[in-house]
Amino acid sequence: MSQRNQWLPHLAVLLGSIAIWFIIPLLKVPNTLVHPRNMSNVSEYLGPKTRDQWQEALEALPATPEKIPAFFFGHGSPMLAFPEDLKTDKRLDAMGPKGNLAAFLSDFGPALLKKYKPKGIVVFSAHWETEGERLVTDYGDENPLLMDYFGFQKELYQLKFKSRGDTTLSHRIVDLYTEAGLQARTSPKSETRGMDGRGFRGPGLDHGVFVPFRIMFGHEFLDIPIVQVSIDGSMSPERNWEIGSAVAKLREEGYLILSGGLMIHNLQDFGGFVESITSPYNAWNDAVLLAASVPEPEARKQALIALTKHPGFRAAHPREDHFVPLYVAAGAGGGSVSILSALWGAPTFAFL
């Protein structure tokens, strides 16, 4: 090899280094091309994780009150309502009243009200499921609260969230399900709604609604009505997608559709609520963000449904109740998606 040719490998390395350090960072690589094995934490690339980042994402949402996006949001847990002076640990640092999720929710709610000025809120929660028919709350002037948890501090049983329902909206939701060929009816205050395996009797908005809503909208929120609808207890992705799709028209009628759950919910492993580079849930968490980032609508739908076959799915969700609200929001939403937050196990997606 000539002396000049001997320098060619070194020149290639030099040019490659220049590309890595100076050129590639200037390129906008599509999120869907980023593979998790190429980075320690793909969620850093796929969505906002700091307050500045999620505030920028919220501000970038299109102001379309004529067609309000549908949202899946990480609804957290009762830890969001823990007393702030409680001795902290890693779980509370992430999911407690001073954690990032609480901070995000405090920005999320006001941003939605300001941008879309909705006539009302239709909410689905991981904590209310029914088989065969949709139940739709019809609570009139004041929504009761269902404290569907046990073993917590007394303060959690004294929480207040004052809100109201709307009979006209409740009946409109039932009509939409009927038009779609799905069974639905209203559920009044006189009917218990805790009959889905959790053992809590009584009417009311469950903690998957009132705990985050207290942060999002304040402890008293009477400006617009809130109506809750049950998810489908079959836990079928397709069925719950259909549940969302049936009420999609509400977006064009001035109503905000919110569907709450979590992407990691294993009560046998409370360590799953804490992000760690050694967490066994990393690949699963990354897979969710990647699937939500697929740009083409039908391909995204298939990617989201395929998540139930992911090797990490069952560990993250021994039962699917906190996962399938994602399909309700996606079914109600439009053809594009925006990741508003990529918080560990509790992301928020806007289906536009």
Per-residue pLDDT for the chain (352 aa), expressed as one digit of tens each?
A: 444 444 443 433 333 333 323 332 333 333 333 333 333 444 446 799 999 999 999 999 999 999 999 999 999 998 899 887 766 666 666 778 999 999 999 999 999 999 999 999 999 999 999 998 999 999 999 999 999 988 888 888 999 999 999 999 999 999 999 999 999 999 999 998 765 445 567 899 999 999 999 999 999 999 999 999 999 999 999 999 999 999 999 999 999 999 999 999 887 776 667 777 768 899 999 999 999 999 999 999 999 999 999 999 999 999 999 999 999 999 999 889 999 999 999 999 999 9
Longest dimension (CA), the chain: 92
- Spell out the residues 6+ positions from residue 289 whose beta carbon is closer than 8 angstroms to its own: 42, 43, 46, 47, 339, 342, 347
Query: What are 193's two structure tokens?
Result: 């709604």
Give the count of domains, the chain.
1
Strand partners, 136: 186, 229
**How, if at all, do strands 70-74 and 133-137 pair?**
unpaired
In a domain, 158, yes or no: yes
Query: What are 177's two structure tokens?
Result: 């399900």
Residue type at position 41 = N
Residues of the domain holding 335: 37-351
Instruction: Report the distance separating Cα 110 and Cα 216, nearest Å.
Output: 7
Instruction: Report the distance separating Cα 352 and Cα 341, nearest Å.
Output: 15
In a domain, 17, yes or no: no
Q: Which residues of 288-311 are buried (b: 16+ CB within 10 A; e: fewer)?
A: bbbbbbbeeeeebbebbbebbeee
For residue 320, CA distances in Å to 30, 99, 127, 327 come to 30, 25, 11, 11
- CATH code for the domain of 124: 3.40.830.10
Residue 2, CA atoms < 13 Å, CB-side half-sphere: 3
Helices 325-332 and 297-306 cross at an angle (nearest 10°) of: 170
